[in-house]
Structures are given as structure tokens and as C-alpha cells.
Structure 1
Amino acid sequence: MKNIFHKIGAALILSSAFFFTGCEPEFENDITVSRGELNLSKYVAVGNSLTAGFQDNGLYLEGQVYSYPNILANQFSFAGGGAFVQPYFSEAQSNGSGYIRLAGISATGSPTLAPVTTNLAVRTDAQPLPGGPRLTKFADAAKVQNWGVPGISVLSSAYNEYGNVNPYFERLLTDAEVTAKTTYIQKVVATQPTFFSLWLGNNDVLTYATSGGVAVASNPFSNMTPVAQFQAIYQQLAGGLVQGGKAKGIVMNIPDVTSVPFFTTVTQASVRRSTGNDQLVIYIRDEAAPNGARPIADGDYILLTTQANLGRQDDVTLPSGTVKIPHGFHPANPLNDNEVLDKVEVAEIKTRTSELNAIIEQTAKSANLAFFDVHAYFNNIKSGFSMSGINYSPAFITGNLFSLDGVHLTPRGYAIIANEMITRINAHYKATIPTIDVTQFRAVLIP
């Protein structure tokens, strides 16, 4: 049985602390393997952070190894799939951009998170880009087949200065390509795959959502992408990958932002439990409300990143003088707009997501590509499900699906998504590519 780790070398595997089982992943079911209508000799993955294997608020070697494209490529190899080149960080810089780990659980049951800052691939010899510090260049970028770029959107994929903005994209370009203002679309279309996966578009709404519905004037990609622009760029990208019908692929759409724990974990009820105060009221800023604040209501979502600020003692100036008031627990010191996604913003995001998803689905149908409705999938599992005796849900940490940033998946979550993709690929292209045993992949690491 081929090993999912074979592509990065035995020396690295044997020395890696994250080799999680000590055995090779096996087929989930015993089947006769067939590629059906597919030519899998060159698989290329196109997408954002989810495609790159981003997890725990960072991109690092373990996440790259357990990315869903690497899992797919491993399974494709049993049906004639060729080599798959990922832009791995080196073992010496295995922690990549840095990430967060679970350090423990507090007495009130809240997770304690700590940053990982050793063995980074962050460059100190060059000025940071607007999107963050530069990262060590991948030496063999011309052969890259996993084009997952954290932070990229459909809108920015056509931006010719993006190599001077996003460090994850810049590390995959030569200096000459950066100077020539090579776009993401140009790079991925030039790969000429025989099969591709396309999961791009999330950040065309998610960037705005994770900022609490606040767009920054200096960042042209911080608002939701207009529908007409999205359609023109997305169809250009998909058309370039299809190559007039020469290549086949699978297309995924945009999940509902309210289906991920970044938006659903921190609630008034959970804060009441953690503080032991069942009368506590959380207030959010609302310029339309009396005094500019109102109690949080159904349909409002507190961001996961806001949790650390709740109850912080702030100096607030009142007519009677300056006093200490806990942040979010009093109308005089409500949560700010960038700490909450209110129900009006949620409705706007849901509408735009629906509009963009309609374009994605129609594009897939027009090109006769396999389609995975991720939006429906994540909404269908909101209440949880069981697989092989293990329970899964979108719950933060305990749900086994989402990593510590509340947006990106755990290795097991990525394996589950890979299996769902294989199921749809098999159905559409009359193939019998084997799925993988997801229990051999870890969920959140508990200290």
C-alpha cells in the first residue's frame, strides 16, 4: 500500500514528531480501482488557505502534508495518478508562518492558546509585504501543483500586483515573475493540468465576515466582491483550467460563514456559563440604537477572536468622570463593530454568498465538471454526525473537524472533505477511486 507521506521522503517522515500513527493509511473500503473517464497524470489544486492545508491560524509542514489535495493525490496514485509537488517548508523551518497550539484548559473551561514561534520560515532579511512578513521561497516553484494560497480571493487572483502583496503567493514566484506582475490566474492556467480541483471564492466574503463586516479603505480585497467582477474572473479562471475541454475537474463552492466555529462559539449563554453570572448581558455597538448600543440578539455573532477582549477593564469617560467598565458587559462600553457580525451584516453576507455560489455552480455545469456543494454539506452537519463510532460537529475543539482558528479544518477534517470529493468525482466520472480511513488523521491535539 502506498503511503500518503511518500512524496516528502523517508528521512523527514522518520524524524518528524507529527508522524501520527506509525502505520500507513489504508483504503476505507476494498474496491476494484478504476480511473473511469479521468486522466489523472497531472493533478493541480487551485484554491486558498483550505487548499494549502492551513490550520491553527498558520501554514506549517504538518498541515501541508495533511492537506486535502495531498490526500487526493495519494488516492489518485492508485488509479494512474502522477507525482504531486507541494511547496513544502523544510524540516528546519517546519513551523512555517507560525501557528497557535492548545496549551491547556482554564478553570472555567476556556481553552488557553499559545503561539508557536520556533523553526519558522519567516524572512528577516527583507521588508514585509502588506499581507505580512515574507516567507522562505520554495526552491522548485516551477513544478508546484498545490496552488493553495492563504488569503487569496477570486478578485485578487487577477490582480497583477498580488505578488507584492501576499507573502504566500510571493514565495511561489521568482523575483522576475514578481517584477513582471504575474497574476495567480496566469500561474495556475500555465500548469495545464489533466485534472484539477477548484475551491476558490471563500475569501470573497470571508475576509469581510471575519473582520466583523468592516472593510478597510486601503485594502481593495477587504469588502465583499461585486457579483459582476466575480463572475468575469471566475469564468476566466475556470475556462483557462478546462483548456477547451482537455482537462476535467471538481469545483467546490463557498460555505455559509455561520456554519464554522469562528462565528458560533462565543455566545451570551457560553459567556454566562464561564463567568458564573446567568444574568450577564452582552452589549454591542449599534448607531441606530439609543445611546449607540444594544443588547446582543439572535442573529448576531461574536467573533472567536473577540473572546479574549470580553470583560476587559477599560477606562470609560462618563459625565460623572472616568471609571473602569468591563468591555462588552455594559452599554457604555459595548463590543465594537469589528468584534461582532450583526444580523444585518449576516443577511448581506448570506445574500452575496448565494449570488456567488450560483455563478460557481453554473460554471461547473457549463463545463461538465464534478461539483461539491460544500455550502449545503456544512449546513447539513451543523447538528453533528457520527462515523465509525466517532462523533463530529462544528463545535470548537471538541467537534474534531475544525482547528484552533475556528475556520480551517483539522487533518481529519481535511481527510473527510477529501473523501466527500472522491465520492463526487467517482459519481461524475464513472471512476472507483478509493477513499481513505479518516481515523488515521488527528483532530485537535490535546496537551
Structure 2
Amino acid sequence: MTFSPKYSLPALALLGLTLGSCQPELDDNRPTADAGQLNFSSYVAVGNSLTSGYSDGGLYNEVQAVSYPAILAQQFAKTGKGPASFVQPAFSAAKKDGSGYVKLQLVNGAAVPVQPSAANNYLGEQVAYTGTNAAFPTELEAYTGAQPDNLGVPGISVLSADKTASSTGNAVVDAQTRGAAAAYGSLNNFYQRLLPAADRTSKDYVTYIGQKTPTFFSCWMGNNDVLTYATAGGVASATNPFSGLTDTTSFGKGYRNIIAAISKNGTVKGVCANIPNVTNIPYFNTVTVTAVAAAFKAANAASPGVFITTGTATAPVIRLATSADLLTLTAQGVVATGAGSTPTNPVPNQYVLDATEITTVVNRTTQLNAIIAKTARQNKLALADMNTFFNSIASQGIVTNAVNNTATFASGNLFSLDGVHPTPRGYAVVANEFIRVINAYYGSMVPQVAPNDYRGVLFP
């Protein structure tokens, strides 16, 4: 129940990736470290894949070690009031590549992203699938240490985090959704591995994070309440109650309960982050209607453009795409086989976020962000406006020590090969924004990091 893009070699060769050049690395000027009024000695991070350190379509030790919470903990320690240690739920050394991750490989001279799978022996990666549970084939190696300080769970949403949240007014739907949230440890392999077996069908995430007693926390939740729907082309699954857009009533109830649990009812200081506009990420801006239409035209001069499927499953609409429609990164695979070239073979709905769906997603993001902002104000917490921050990156990039980093897929340094999650450098940039907001709100002087010390996408 986490985003995992599927790629194919001939399909993504069309992306035309090229090897990056070396970049200058310059020292940053760091201020004197001072925690001010804050106590970072027990820092806890609440969130989803972005908090966990998920990157390149997977969770693995290398990037988990430079997740933005890990970077924050490192910088908090420089104030003299930081944590002595920051525990993350790493995989064992023998299974360090966790769920596996996309790699760039050279195919016919082009750098092509390849998704690991059993068919390609997971690209030689040391993955953590147990292979012992026939009912849950994606079961991951269990984490057996003390409860981590990084509580990020890839795939989790506010709706799936709280077994009391669902409040649509439909008794049947609410009962099913609440039941799924309570049993989330049996549905999400990343959450399952954090829980004792006895808790997997009953302990929701709100209860789980409530077990921690932080002196400071960060909370970046809500992304998957719109992202899951968007990355599936606006197609919700009838069997997954968390695949649609979360309604505002349920989100408000769940988000307030999350903050109450981790802040101990408003007595612990922290920072919240809101939801970026997901339509700005490379996942929706790499495979473009214009580029695909040009490819079809080159192959057939009479081609009128790209045919897509929109509407609903019961009332599908087949039409020519416009520049207002977005194709997903994973659409490249079906386009390479000819999908979209004729009205009888259109790009399937799950690979298209049409103009109407885009408006719906953006509007819901605005509504949910208003709830996050109000909750932060009510609890006197700092608010990191990641929506505005990522909008700026999407439009103009961000310069770090004379190096311009952008939202361009693969070569822009900031986004990983899944087109959604950051690279290590991207996580360093995110950590710096959190630090900037914390310093501004609480009057602290937590030093930032030099993002160029962290890598972008690895090229072969």
C-alpha cells in the first residue's frame, strides 16, 4: 500500500537520460548552534514515506540513514541539547536494501531506470522480503529493536493512521475504513515490520506513536490522503478504502488525534509540515502529452495526438489529450507499446490525471492544508509550508553553494528515480527548510547542512 512505480527497459529508454557532470562542493557558513527554549534530547519524527527516507521506489538503509529526521537529529545535537542517539528502523546488514530500489543501468548507451523484481533477481540487491508468508508475499524482515525515533511509515495516510477517523456519514463505509485502519499492521508491510505480531491487527498508528514521550517532534502527514489517488490517475480501488481523496471531516479528526497523541495534548513543542502540490512532482511532468504526441507524429504523420481514457469505469470517455492533462511517469511503459496512438487503444485511465482530476486534487490539498495550519496554530506549533517551498522548487529550482538543483527527473539532483520522493540531497534541502522554520518560530539557532555534501541520483 505504498507507491511503487513499475518500469520497463525499452519504455524508459525514451526518457533520454544523460550522465551528469561533476559539481563544485563549497563549505557553508554555519551559525553558532543554540537550542534556545527548545529541548531536542528526545526528538521523534511522525510521518509517511517522506519521513522514513523512502527513495527510488523503495526503503533501504543507505537513504534511510540520511532521511530528513536523521539530518535534523544530527543538527539538533550540535546545540548541546540534542538526542544522544536517533533510532531508525534499519534493515539488517545482510538485507540492507530493504524493499529494493530502482537503479539506473546502461542499455544501448542510455541510462535507464530499472525496477528490481524477482524476475531480475532484484538487480543483485540484498532485499528483506522473508518469503515465508504465503498470505503476505511482500512481508519484510521484522524490526526487533526498541521503538524507533523515526516513526515514518511509507504509504500511510491520516485516514489509515486513526481507527476512529473515518466520518463520512456512511455507516458501512466508516466501519470498513476504521476496521482497516485498526488492522493496518496486517495491510502495510512497512508498518507490519515495526509491530509485534500480536499488535498487527489491532494497533493503529495513532496508538503506536502515542507510546513515545518526545521533548520535540516533527509531523509531516497528509500527503498520501491526496497522493495515492493522484498517482493512480484519479482511479480509486474498490478494495482499498484509503485509495480515494480523504474527506475533510475525516482528515480533520484524524490529524487532530495524531497531533494530540505525539504532542501529549499540546504540551510538547514541535513542527508540522503541510502537503505539497503533488501535480508539480516529476511523476507528472516527465512523460508529457506534447512529447508523446510528437513521437506518434514522427512515426505516423497522420497522427492527431494522444488518445486517453477519462471519466469513470462505468462511463469511460475516450478523447484526445490536451496540455492540461498530465500523464504519469509509469505511462511511458504503455505508451511504448502503442497505447494512446489510436482511439481504439487509448492510454488507460490509471495513467492519466485529467484536467478535472487535477483541479479536484489541488482543491483538496488546499482544504487539507487549511486544517493542518489551524491545528498547528491551536497547538502553538511551528508550520513548515512545504507547499509553497516545493512550488518554488518546481518553478525555479534551488541553488545550493552555486549549484542549481531542480525538479527535473533524475538529472535535477532533488528527486529520486520514482519521480515522487527526494534523493539524499533532496532530503538535505528539506531538512534545511525545517531548520529554517524551527529557528524562525522558536528563536533557536540550529545550524543547517550543506546539501551538496549529499548525493543526487546515482548514474552508472
TM-score by length of 2: 0.84
Tell me by how many angstroms 1:273 deviates: 5.7
Tell me the distance in 1 between the aligned counterparts of 2:77 and 2:189. Answer: 31
Q: 1:407 to 1:371 in 2, by over 3 A?
A: same
Structure 1 residue runs without a partner (length 5+):
1-24, 313-325
- The one-letter amino acid paired with 2:402 is G
Give SS of 1:335's match. Answer: coil
Provide the residue aligned with 1:425 in structure 2. 438
Partner of 1:153: 157
CA–CA distance in 2 between the matches of 1:370 and 1:65? 25
| Aligned partners of 1:102 and 1:114 also within 8 Å | no
State which drifts further: 117-126 or 78-87.
117-126
Per-residue Cα deviation, 1:149-186 (whole angstroms, up to 9, x for no partner): 0000000001211111111001000112225x111111
Alpha-carbon offset, residue 27 of structure 1: 7.7
CA distance in 2, matches of 1:291, 1:44: 46
Partner of 2:59: 59
For 2:349 and 2:369, the matched residues in 1 are separated by 27
Q: 1:69 maps to what in 2?
A: 69
Deviates more, 1:109-118 or 1:260-269: 109-118
| Correspondence for 1:97 | 99
SS at match of 1:201: coil
Whichever residue aligns with residue 341 of structure 2, its letter is: F
* Partner of residue 275, structure 2: 254
Question: Any residues of structure 2 matched to 1:74-223 within 5 Å, and which?
Answer: 74-79=74-79, 80-82=81-83, 83-104=85-106, 111-115=112-116, 116-117=122-123, 118-129=125-136, 133-140=138-145, 142-158=146-162, 159-179=181-201, 181-223=202-244
Give the structure 1 partner of residue 381 of structure 2: 369
Equivalent AA in structure 2 for residue 148 of structure 1: G
How far does residue 92 in structure 1 lie from its aligned partner after superposition? 0.8
Cα distance in structure 1, aligned partners of 2:446 and 2:428: 14
Residue 51 of structure 1: how far off its partner (Å):
0.5
Unaligned runs of 5+ in 2: 1-24, 117-121, 163-180
User: CA 1:235/1:442 → structure 2, altered by over 3 Å: closer, same or farther?
Assistant: same
Say how many residue pairs are matched.
404
Is 2:329 the counterpart of 1:304?
yes
**Which range moves more in the overlay, 243-252 or 191-200?**
243-252
Corresponding residue for residue 169 of structure 2: none
In 1: Cα distance, 2:230 partner to 2:322 partner: 18
Cα distance, 1:264–1:125 mapped onto 2, change above 3 Å: same
Query: Which residue among 380, 386, 408 is the counterpart of 2:421?
Result: 408
Identity across matched positions, percent: 42
Q: Given that residues 104 and 113 in structure 1 are in contact (C-alpha distance below 8 angstroms), is that contact kept between their aligned partners in structure 2?
A: no
SS at match of 2:199: helix
1:395 Cα offset (Å): 0.9
Deviation of the 1:259 alpha carbon: 1.0
2:371 and 2:188 map into 1 onto residues whose CA distance is 26
Q: Aligned equivalents of 1:210 and 1:176: distance in 2?
A: 33
Deviation at 1:384, TM superposition (A): 2.5
Give the equivalent residue in structure 2 for 1:243.
264
| Distance in structure 2 (CA, Å) of the matches to 1:175 and 1:27 | 47
How far the C-alpha of 1:191 sits from its partner, in A, is 0.2
Partner of 2:15: none
- State whether residues 253 and 373 of structure 1, in contact with CA within 8 Å, keep that contact through their aligned partners in structure 2: yes
Between the aligned partners of 1:170 and 1:420, the Cα distance in structure 2 is: 31
| Structure 2 Cα separation of the partners of residues 62 and 277 of structure 1 | 42
Q: In the aligned structure 1, how far is the partner of 2:429 from the partner of 2:316?
A: 47
Cα distance in structure 2, aligned partners of 1:176 and 1:357: 35
The 2-side partners of 1:291 and 1:170 are apart by: 37
1:381-428 deviations in Å (ceiling 9; x for gaps): 222232222121111011111000000000000000001110110111
- Output one character per residue of 1:284-313: Cα deviation in whole Å (capped at 9) or x when no partner: 02459x99421111221000011011041x
Task: Report whether the alignment pairs 1:293 with 2:294.
Answer: no
Return the alpha-carbon distance in structure 2 between the equivalents of residues 33 and 337 of structure 1. Answer: 51
Q: 1:304 to 1:176 in 2, by over 3 A?
A: same
Displacement after TM superposition at 1:444 (Å) = 0.5
> What is the CA distance between 1:270 and its match in structure 2?
2.5
Q: Please state whether the residue corresponding to 2:229 is helix, strand or coil.
A: helix
Separation in 2, partners of 1:406, 1:112: 11
Q: Deviations over 1:72-111 (max 9, x none)?
A: 000011111112100011111011001110113666x673
Q: Describe the SS at the equivalent of 2:394.
A: coil
Spell out structure 1 runs of 4+ moving beyond 4 A: 272-276
Q: Which residue of 2 aligns with 1:399?
A: 412
Residue 288 (structure 2) pairs with residue 283 (structure 1): no
**Partner Cα distance (2:404, 2:135) in 1:** 42
Work out whether residues 105 and 112 of structure 1, in 8 Å CA contact, stay in contact via their aligned partners in 2: no
Distance 1:36 1:293 in 2: 59
Matches within 5 A, 1:343-354: 343-354=355-366
| Whole-angstrom CA distance in 1 between matches of 2:107 and 2:376 | 44
SS in 2 for 1:146: coil
Check if 1:356 corresponds to 2:380.
no
